[in-house]
Amino acid sequence: EAQVTQNPRYLITVTGKKLTVTCSQNMNHEYMSWYRQDPGLGLRQIYYSMNVEVTDKGDVPEGYKVSRKEKRNFPLILESPSPNQTSLYFCASSPFAPPSYEQYFGPGTRLTVT
């Protein structure tokens, strides 16, 4: 089954404790992206990757890191989480071109930073 998986689905952590949210897709997609969803703001892009070893900042990259060492995986790293990073996070993937292709979303990760 074609899918994007994220782990963990729920996470409660404390300020400053490094964490990683994993994302994996089994569709051989080149393009992968991370979004955060906040009430009244919709989804906003954090980082994206057009292929292995190619990553770039989205609209809200501060406080986040990513890596793309393998085509299927695109982890999101919070080196020192802060309460303003409490949010719902989505990973998504699609073929790189054309932009008409649907982006497939993971199930979401609910992160709470206290």
Partner 1 sequence: AQTVTQSQPEMSVQEAETVTLSCTYDTSESDYYLFWYKQPPSRQMILVIRQEAYKQQNATENRFSVNFQKAAKSFSLKISDSQLGDAAMYFCAYRGYGNKLVFGAGTILRVKS
Q: Which residues bind partner 1 (CB under 8 A)?
A: 31, 33, 35, 40-45, 48, 50, 58, 88, 90, 92, 94, 96-97, 99-100, 102-103, 105, 107-108
Q: State the minimum distance, in angstroms, from the CB of residue 5 to partner 1.
A: 13
Q: Do 35 and 89 contact (CB within 8 A), yes or no?
A: yes
* Cβ-based nearer residue to partner 1, 15 or 76: 76
* Cβ-based nearer residue to partner 1, 77 or 88: 88
* Cβ-based nearer residue to partner 1, 75 or 90: 90
C-alpha 24/C-alpha 52 separation (Å) is 13
Residue 79 φ then ψ, to 5°: -70, -40
Q: Do 105 and 92 contact (CB within 8 A), yes or no?
A: yes
